[in-house]
Chain A
Amino acid sequence: MIDRLWNMASCASALLLASTLMMAPSFAQETPSKGGTLVVANDTEPRNLNPAIVASNGVFFIASKIVEPLAEMDYEDGLRPLLAESWKAADDGLSFTLNLRDGVSWSDGNPFTSADVAFSAMNVWKEKQNIGRQIFRNLVAVDTPDDKTAILRFSEPTPGQLIENAMPAVTAVLPAHLLKDENLDEAAYNAAPVGTGPFVFTEHKPGELYRLSRNENYWRDGQPYLDQIVYRVLPDPGAKAAALETGDIHVTAFSAVPLTDMARLDAIDGISVISEGYEGITYNITLDMNHRRKELANPLVRKAIAHAINQEFLVDVVFLGYATAATGPVPPTAKEFYAEDTVRYDFDTAKANELLDEAGYPRDADGKRFSLRLRPAPWFQQTRDTGDYVRQALAEVGIDVEIVTADPGGHIKAVYTDHDYDLAIGSPVWRNDPAISTTILYQGGLDAGIPFANQWGYDSEEMNGIIARGISTLDTAERTEVYKDFQRLAQDDLPIIFLTHFTFITVARDEVKNVSNNPRWATSGWADTWIAK
């Protein structure tokens, strides 16, 4: 494991060296100044701010400044220790030992100990958390031989690589002393969390703002630099852009400003458009296909559809270049897992027509082969626009597409519970490891109603076998190979089509420093963020 970390570290640092050298002068000259209030635009108002229960970016955006995980992603070292100083998986995969940081206390003054980790792991990550339920399924106990050591015990061998990759997103540690006698689903804690992080929760004015203030007891000396972070609730994209220009807000994240406004904002002195800082939370645009339709059950038809779609057009027009064409269920930014040698389906209308003829769906007198209903996910402009493009692209090869829209709740129910769709545009997230992000889109035999998962009716014994091997293979190199096989088979069978990977964009005013300096920046702690005076 240490070898792997070293390898990753040296690879990453070699790559980064060039860029750091170029940036070095501007960074080296500046010493962080303390104080100031950072104002951030926020889209939504999550009711539950408990990141250990709701592992989602909307919650992390606020809560990751208050409640810290065991480790955070880092451009140079892969993983940077936070509450855990070091960790080691046992050779048999049945235990994972965490050495916790000394001298950390909760913002209410109580000491942070291994009991907090044991409580969080057993009672929250394993029991309550959307992602943790899968990873910690086989967790049976957490031993705490002393205050600074926690040993996770598993009933089945669990790969250390998986736990490591999961640490940034799923291991937010909650204070056992405040929560062990509470009903976690209803605890007042969820609206006003207490943590070990650089900031403490101060207030929430509904419809207006969340306010966080610096944690005077933070364990890292001298940090955080900021006095306060204010999240202003500003759902309107145009209003956000205007507020950035006037200086009313300093930062917008998650592409909150329309992509079409990016070039205009970038040209303004004092505002920067930054596409780094999201490598650990890449979103993907997929074309999901319901195999219960006999046409779509035919692999020739699915491949024809893939050939009919021009991914470059999507990247250039729908994403204005802020995306890359996908080659499978792992983005190329995940260098560790990415397989280059998957089957490609180049844009080729003639080939698509040939395949459809071969599949036995000739054009009728009107030039149409068959009709499909497409449900684009309603939550991003890009998912809706992609739907419009797919409709047009498939019309070219004689497939008539009717777009059906619904509100988010209705969309999720129609696609993932009722299977009332032929095609759908989805936006699954890549989270560091296939086992906790994209394999669920290929896993067979899932119950209807599990959202953002394989509800396509695809169930391949070979695929299920690969996915099972991936979560039980302990050797890191071997496990990585398994996931390369996973990508190859995913592209051979093509149950769904990965169209693009898109990273979000941060737009920030230049006086804010240390922006986008880790691969999950928007959802990290911001202890080192500061405002130049």
Chain B
Amino acid sequence: MIAALREFRGAGGVLGGLVLLVIALIAAAASWIAPGDPLNMVARPLTQPFADPRYLLGTDQLGRNVLAGLVHGARVSMSVGAAAAAAAICVGILVGTMAGFSGRRIDNGLMRITEAFQTVPTFLLALALVSVLGASALNVVVAIGISSWPPTARLVRAEVLRLKGADYVDAARLAGRGSLAIAFMEVLPGALQPVVALIGVTVGEAILVESALAFLGLSDPNLVSWGGMIANGRALLRTAPYLVVLPGLAIAIAVLCVTLAGDGLANRLGIVGRR
């Protein structure tokens, strides 16, 4: 039973990883699959899907190609999601290592800051930041990064605290190495493994937050985004449901695959098993 479950989780990870790879390829090849600016109004508005072979998934109320929107949107969602998650994880690692390895005072200070960030819901903080900074792709990455680092920081801190009394750390200290060097060169590599388990969740959440921001009209208006497509199509839910359903499916599939692949990776590395 448990073996079967483990088998399934393994398969899920592989499946997630494969689909994710396909999405990434589509995102990379967006300009070949659908050349031109996906925001251009190219055909008769509200062409139904599969009605015109040139616009396989139909057009929206302004005559923009839905397929072009989806593939270019994949590029935006995946890259913004990945960049934001990378930013969040880097900040989290930095803060977590400092907190775990430094003395009590710095640890306390950093952890209070982390808790302060955790008391504000991720999405609301990102929303506030983008409203202040202005809606551009870079600002969205920054906002999501700033609002979603605390879980990583707490995890890394716990691992660092666990490892910093280890013999090899003492050995390094006796060898006369500086604290920073010990923290980042000796302790951190050992503490990184569990972080891998967080990557999937963090990226998935970053994609969701990016979509939600776009839905509210707070993403870069010069780029297509799945969330923005849903917002545009929402008014036509009754007459042209595909305008909402297709990008909605894209978001669901992408987030699911990222999470599955992340889990699979963590499994493979034996992190979950160790607990």
Contacts and interface: CB of A to CB of B under 8 A. Distances in A.
Given A385-B62, A388-B62, A392-B40, A407 B236 contact: no
B61 A260 contact: yes
Contacts of A395: 37, 40
B177 to A, nearest CB: 50
B241 interface: no
Interface in B131-163: 131, 134-135
B219 to A, nearest CB: 9
Given A392-B39, A392-B40, A405 B217 contact: yes
A264 B63 contact: no
Contact of A378 (B46, B217, B239): B217
A258 B235 contact: yes
A317 B63 contact: yes
Contacts of A238: 234-235, 237-238
B239 A389 contact: no
B235 A237 contact: yes
Interface string A373-402: 000001001001101110110010000001
B253 to A, nearest CB: 25
Given A392-B39, A407-B131, A258 B236 contact: yes
A429 interface: no
A261 B222 contact: no
Nearest to B135: A405
Contact of A260 (B135, B217, B239): B239
A318 interface: yes
Nearest to B223: A403
Interface in A94-134: none
A446 interface: no
A82 B201 CA distance: 66
B121 interface: no
B25 interface: no
Contacts of B239: 260-261, 263-264
A404 interface: yes
Contact of B134 (A318, A387, A404): A404
Interface in B38-66: 39-41, 45-46, 61-63
B270 interface: no
Nearest to B40: A392
Contacts of A258: 235-236
Q: Which of A378, A381, A387, A388 has the most CB of B within 10 A?
A: A388
Contacts of B234: 238
B221 interface: yes
B37 A317 contact: no
A260 B62 contact: no
B236 A261 contact: yes
A387 to B, nearest CB: 8
Contacts of A387: 221
A395 B42 CA distance: 14
Contacts of B238: 238, 241, 261, 264
Contacts of B240: 260
A381 B235 contact: yes
Contacts of A378: 217
Contacts of B221: 387, 403-405
B237 A406 contact: no
A260 B236 contact: yes
Contacts of B45: 317
By secondary structure, the B interface counts as loop
B133 to A, nearest CB: 11
A392 B37 contact: yes
Interface residues of A, number: 27
A17 to B, nearest CB: 38
B265 to A, nearest CB: 37
Nearest to A414: B134
A406 B37 CA distance: 23
By secondary structure, the A interface counts as helix
Contacts of B235: 237-238, 258, 260-261, 381
A317 B222 contact: no
Nearest to A387: B221
Interface in A307-343: 313, 317-318
A402 B39 CA distance: 12
A389 B63 CA distance: 11
Interface in A490-515: none
A391 B134 contact: no
Interface string B205-239: 00000000000011001100000000000111111
A469 B194 CA distance: 77
Contacts of B39: 388, 391-392
B134 to A, nearest CB: 7
Contacts of B62: 317-318, 385, 388-389
Given A258-B235, A402-B222, A389 B41 contact: yes
A50 to B, nearest CB: 30
A215 B197 CA distance: 68
Contacts of A406: 134-135
B38 to A, nearest CB: 11
Interface in A260-278: 260-261, 263-264
Contacts of A388: 39, 41, 62
B26 to A, nearest CB: 24
A391 B40 CA distance: 9
Contacts of B236: 258, 260-261
A405 B45 CA distance: 24
B215 to A, nearest CB: 14
Q: Which of B37, B41, B63, B218 has the most CB of A within 10 A?
A: B41
Contacts of A389: 41, 62
A389 B221 CA distance: 13
A421 to B, nearest CB: 13
A258 to B, nearest CB: 4
A389 B39 CA distance: 9
B213 to A, nearest CB: 12
Nearest to B218: A405
B45 to A, nearest CB: 6
A191 B237 CA distance: 37
Contacts of A263: 239
A407 B131 CA distance: 8
B240 to A, nearest CB: 8
Nearest to A406: B134
Interface string A231-247: 00000011001000000
For the complex of A and B, the 9 pairs showing the least CB-CB separation, nearest first, are A258-B235, A403-B221, A405-B221, A260-B236, A392-B40, A405-B135, A260-B61, A403-B222, A317-B45
5 contacts: A238-B235, A261-B239, A317-B41, A395-B37, A404-B221
Given A238-B234, A405-B217, 13 more contacts: A238-B235, A258-B235, A260-B61, A260-B240, A263-B239, A384-B217, A388-B41, A389-B62, A404-B134, A404-B221, A405-B135, A405-B221, A406-B134
